[in-house]
Structure 1
Amino acid sequence: MSEEIVIPSPADFHVHVRQGKMCELVTPQVAKGGVRTAYVMPNLVPPLTSTDAVLSYKAELERIDPSVQWLMTLYLHTDVTPDVVRKAADAGIYGIKVYPQGLTTNSDSGVKDYEAYYPVFQAMEENNMVLNLHGEVSSDAEKNISVLNAEVHFLSHLKKIATDFPKLRIVLEHATTAAAIEAVSSLPANVACTITAHHLYLTIDDVPSQPHHFCKPVAKEPKDRKALQDAIKSGNPKFFLGSDSAPHPLSSKIPNLTDDGSVSACAAGVYTSPILIPLVATLLESFGALDKLAGFVSENGRKFYGVPAGENQELKLKRTGNGKEDGLVKGTFKGEGVEVLPFWTGKKLGWEIVN
């Protein structure tokens, strides 16, 4: 077995770094987790619906950590018109993220009707921008739709958009089901898919007892997890890393009594940035796909997005030692008035970054 691995410039094609004090805390952790290029989500408050807002946010991230290549996105909204698309493309913004209304963090301004945005999708196709889809629909008791099958019910929307816009690059974000893997595999090469680290490990059984495992979309059945793992083992270039690393204050992940006596909701999100590439290496090795690591965390996504690796951006990993503390993920990260807990806390990683 190899004791060291060299990866050509890892990239995370779906990451949240928030704003304000949380942004100051978590932004440097992206590079510390081994990532050289990060594709940033736009669901801030207010959402990033203009080129100027996106560029201002990018400048803030570059101020905090200029070592990372920050790739930026717009938030699909009624303010985003074909003219806005053209301006964004000219400014080097890579994609537009679609959030179904009300389904996840800061998605209240999201989309209800996809066809209403067809002029925007056409402008994106013409300007070579990427459409990033949060692939769920709203729960509906009468139709028996819940968080467990919301992704499966979304796939008809994915297929229709892909059919109607055959030259539009589309990414189904953070797939969690065997059905999603099958759908993406069956569609043309302009449709790809991100897979998170945590969905390669969790199943639905891990979620009810642990609020830090709750995310949207939720982890599914063992057969679905295996489909995600098999997609990576296959080496299919349609599948690549998008961590959906989503930090929340510790107090937001643990339900608490509010001032009015009600119980607060648990925020949706799993935070993996500080340990991301060693975690992915550990997980891929666990299901026999370590030889696909470079493709999954760098080559496949970079090829789809057209973002080449920079010079001298390789990342070297080595196996962790056998000591009690070697590879152990420890506790929370704290900043000014902010505290977050990373995924895998209390567990050991099999790989670590060589400084």
Structure 2
Amino acid sequence: KALKLYPAGATTNSQSGVKDIEKTYPVIERMSEIGLPLLVHGEVTDPDVDIFDREAIFIEKVLHPLRQRFPALKVVMEHVTTSHGVDYVRGATGHLGATITTHHLIINRNTMLVGGIRPHYYCLPIAKRESHRLALVEAATSGDGQFFLGTDSAPHLDRAKETACGCAGVFSAPNTMSCLAQVFENQNALERLEGFTSLNGAKFYGMAPNKTRIRLKRQSTPIMQDDKLETPDGPLTIFDPGFELFWHVEQDAS
């Protein structure tokens, strides 16, 4: 069990989120006492702060003061996207972890913006520059138990994405494991994939690992990928990593 903190307006459907974190301090104090983790969408929503700087400012102005006030509070920075976030987590002494999404390990802001707008790569927190992506890859594949998978897979119908004011979210659930296996293979870190996806998070939360297992099998030729998932309400575009995938998920690993 945990409690999620959404700053008001930080992401899709968060309009009723927290506007003044100090008003939540009595709840957070109790969480600290009973060991209930606080999961944070780590961005400020001040309109004067550039969207690409929101995470760094959140750490400085909100998260660090919060953790100083409640040093025993367990905190997870959800979907961390910057080298600032990675460095802050690594510099912490216990009680702090971070999730990393599949798509933030693969795309940077150029993927979304260069050569034309690609709305299916638009997400919040927004993808950052390449140096930040590389920091995320290093953290995810390092074996450091403070970092673990949080896909933040967010399906929105194509008509809600391909519009003048589209929804934020990347639909990565159908091919997340295949994408991650490719990323970890490229880093010669396949032996650390299970920890990142299945063990580190469970250990941080004090939970037993999932008993259900899957098997990843590498094929000699690229796997066939669906571009869309058809629904009664319309199509959903599946995350395109921009490279061929060779790892196939076998559901039954018994």
User: 2:141–2:193: 8 Å Cα contact kept in structure 1?
Assistant: no
Verify: 1:165 aligned to 2:70, yes or no: yes
Counterpart for residue 304 of structure 1 = 204
Counterpart for residue 226 of structure 1 = 134
- Of the three residues 121, 130, 149, the one matched with 2:37 is 130
Query: Percent of aligned positions with the same letter in both sequences?
Result: 36
- Of the three residues 143, 150, 156, the one matched with 1:242 is 150
Counterpart for residue 187 of structure 2 = 287
Aligned partner letter, 2:104: H
1:193 aligned counterpart, secondary structure: strand
Verify: 1:152 aligned to 2:56, yes or no: yes
Deviation at 1:343, TM superposition (A): 0.3
Structure 1 gaps, min length 5: 1-93, 256-263
Counterpart for residue 71 of structure 1 = none
Deviation at 1:310, TM superposition (A): 4.0
Alpha carbons of 1:122 and 1:228: their partners in 2 closer, same or farther (altered >3 Å)? same
User: 1:276-324: per-residue Cα shift (whole Å, max 9, x none)?
Assistant: 112111112123322210110011101001221243x2211100232xx
Aligned partners of 1:346, 1:287: CA distance in 2, in Å?
Answer: 17
Aligned partner letter, 2:218: R
Higher CA-based Rg: 1
Verify: 1:316 aligned to 2:221, yes or no: no
Aligned partners of 1:268, 1:158: CA distance in 2, in Å?
Answer: 24
TM-score, normalising length from structure 2?
A: 0.92
Aligned partners of 1:122, 1:215: CA distance in 2, in Å?
Answer: 32
Alpha carbons of 1:204 and 1:139: their partners in 2 closer, same or farther (altered >3 Å)? farther
Counterpart for residue 40 of structure 1 = none
Aligned partners of 2:45, 2:184: CA distance in 1, in Å?
Answer: 32
Deviation at 1:346, TM superposition (A): 7.5
Counterpart for residue 350 of structure 1 = 246
Q: How does 1:19-30 map to 2 (within 5 A)?
A: none
1:133 aligned counterpart, secondary structure: strand
User: 2:141–2:196: 8 Å Cα contact kept in structure 1?
Assistant: no
Aligned partner letter, 1:130: P
Aligned partner letter, 2:145: P
1:167 aligned counterpart, secondary structure: coil
2:215 aligned counterpart, secondary structure: strand
Deviation at 1:122, TM superposition (A): 1.2
Alpha carbons of 1:136 and 1:169: their partners in 2 closer, same or farther (altered >3 Å)? same
User: 1:104–1:216: 8 Å Cα contact kept in structure 2?
Assistant: yes
Aligned partners of 1:350, 1:291: CA distance in 2, in Å?
Answer: 17
User: 1:331–1:346: 8 Å Cα contact kept in structure 2?
Assistant: no
Counterpart for residue 23 of structure 2 = 116
Counterpart for residue 173 of structure 2 = 273
1:207 aligned counterpart, secondary structure: helix
If asked which structure has higher relative contact order (CA below 8 Å, sep 6+), I would say 1
User: 1:86-116: per-residue Cα shift (whole Å, max 9, x none)?
Assistant: xxxxxxxx11111111121000001111111
User: 1:144-188: per-residue Cα shift (whole Å, max 9, x none)?
Assistant: x21111111100211111221122110001111101101111112
Aligned partners of 1:300, 1:140: CA distance in 2, in Å?
Answer: 35
Deviation at 1:127, TM superposition (A): 2.7
CA RMSD, 1 decimal: 1.6
Counterpart for residue 105 of structure 1 = 12
Alpha carbons of 1:318 and 1:332: their partners in 2 closer, same or farther (altered >3 Å)? same
User: 1:241–1:296: 8 Å Cα contact kept in structure 2?
Assistant: yes
User: 1:1-20: per-residue Cα shift (whole Å, max 9, x none)?
Assistant: xxxxxxxxxxxxxxxxxxxx
TM-score, normalising length from structure 1?
A: 0.67
Work out the number of aligned pairs and report it. Answer: 247
Aligned partners of 1:186, 1:245: CA distance in 2, in Å?
Answer: 28
